[in-house]
Amino acid sequence: MTTLRDLPSVDELLQTKTVAELIAQYGRPLTLSAIRETLDTIRTRFLSGAITTLPLRDLIFAQVDAALVSWVKPTLRSVINASGVILHTNLGRAPLSDATIRAMELVARGYSTLEYDLEKGVRGSRLIHAESVLQKLTGAESAVVVNNNASAVLLVLSALANRKRVIISRSQLVEIGGGFRIPDVMKQSGAKLVEVGTTNKVHLRDYEEALAEQGGLVMRAHRSNFKIVGFTAEPELKEVVDVTHKAGSIFVDDLGSGALYDTAKYGLAHEPTVQESLAAGTDVVCFSGDKLLGGPQAGIIIGKKVLLDKIKKHPLARAVRADKTCLAGVTATLLHYLKDEAEREIPILKMMSLTPKQVKGRAEAWRQELGAGEIVEGESTVGGGSLPDESFPTFLLSLTVESPEKFLKKLRGQNPPLIARTANDKVLLDPRTVLPEQEGALLVGLKNVLKDL
């Protein structure tokens, strides 16, 4: 009769060659935890009657190994994005250029001049990194990089509008991903929200009246993730800036998407650029690094030196500061623009530049390699809270399978995982968002799943 006495002890298992190999791979403490957890589970199931015989040692070893694999498996993994959404927020937004990756790796591998002045041999400031490039690129007097654009907005308002009125159009009281709401940010910064106009219409006189009442900082929050259409009206940016300055107040522009190029050249709607905001006379501009700029996650603040000096000295600046890899990556990405090579080097700009004919050629090559599917017309989107409802023509590899959802799940189970989409009971893969160096892995993964059908 089988009893728990027949179950090997932890010490007995530790003496085996198999466990010695697991310890060499995973370390003794973690392996011990896996052995104990596995034995505890077996005891519990045996005593409850869920099992009537104890597993052999080989099965115990397999369960221990499975537990260890599960524990050390990373949750943040590289994936292949065949969804056709270029700035896919859930997939990490902008993939980085080779030069950007090299710059980030270089400072990550060893020590750096993060806060060290080589010329003077004394402590320096991390706030200078990327500033000179941003000054040359945009013409701004000063600049600073923080960890993301939400932090940038919070820092600017905390430094310039604490206990002061911030005038903003009702049409701009936006919420972006993760529940980040402009009114909540203002409250957190200590600013007093002053809404002007209506949801669909705001007039220049609305700003003039609010400024005449008690003054205050004026802010624009660009609607980068939705549109208001129909019976709408709002004044031009320069008109609002001029009214603000006439009243002796500051104008802050939260651009969000951070476009440095005119997106209309790619057949999309025009997205307000950083340069246009500065040209309109904006005092401070905030934008993201990982959206239309095409760099790593960052919040970039540029504008008048007297205001940026105040922002840099605010206590919150330390809490939201960028780390060395972010600063190196942002600088490398900005240099692509400064050297007029952005469309050749930055992945998202290359994706947007692809013609439908080029995309179709890649899709056809996939179909021939797989011996399955058909080529259909479709739409790619920018995504990432940029250019809402905007898309451009593409060509897709369409696969007909019995269960599209099950097929997608199997694609996600590949190494690396493949992310596609479905429509009209078809599995669709868009070559536009698949990096050229990932095509081999994509085809291997697709073949693995197709052969099991």
* Partner residues linked to 224 by β-bridges: none
User: CA 448 to CA 431: how far, in whole Å?
Assistant: 19
Helix (H) or strand (E) holding 181: strand 180-181
Q: 329 with 116: CB under 8 angstroms?
A: no
As a whole number of angstroms, the distance between CA 69 and CA 10 comes to 19
Query: Domain spans of the chain?
Result: 4-72, 80-89+348-450, 96-342
Residue 52: burial class (beta carbons within 10 Å; 0-12, 13-18, 19+): exposed
Average of per-residue pLDDT values in the chain: 92
The pLDDT tens digits along the chain (453 residues) read 678 888 999 999 999 999 999 999 999 999 999 999 999 999 999 999 999 899 999 999 999 999 999 999 999 999 999 999 999 999 999 999 999 999 999 999 999 999 999 999 999 999 999 999 999 999 999 999 999 998 999 999 999 998 888 889 887 776 665 556 777 777 777 778 888 888 788 889 988 988 998 888 999 987 655 556 556 778 899 999 999 999 999 999 999 889 999 999 998 888 999 999 999 999 999 999 999 999 999 999 999 999 999 999 999 999 999 999 999 999 999 999 999 999 999 999 999 999 999 999 999 999 999 999 999 999 999 987 677 677 889 999 999 999 999 999 999 999 999 999 999 999 999 999 999 999 999 999 999 999 877
Of 260, 288, 257, 256, the closest CA to residue 274 belongs to: 260
Task: List pLDDT tens digits, range 282-292.
Answer: 999 999 999 99
**Cβ pair 429, 82 in contact under 8 A:** yes
Q: 80-89+348-450 sits in which CATH class?
A: alpha beta
Distance CA 112, CA 287 (A): 26
Instruction: Specify the CATH number for 96-342; select among 3.40.640.10, 3.30.470.20, 3.40.50.300, 3.50.50.60.
Output: 3.40.640.10
Q: Is 185 left (phi over 0), alpha (psi -120 to 50) or beta?
A: alpha
**Cβ–Cβ under 8 Å, residues 370 and 443:** yes
DSSP assignments along 309-366, one per residue: HHHHHSTHHHHTB--HHHHHHHHHHHHHHHTT-HHHH-HHHHHHH--HHHHHHHHHHH
Reading the block at residue 136, the tokens are 């040359």
Cα 106 from Cα 327, distance rounded (Å): 12
* CA–CA distances in Å: residue 432 to residues 289, 344, 380, 428: 21, 15, 8, 12
Q: What is the pLDDT of residue 184?
A: 73
Q: What is the 3-state secondary structure (H, E, C) of 28-66?
A: HHHHHHHHHHHHHHHHHHHHHCCCCCCCCHHHHHHHHHH
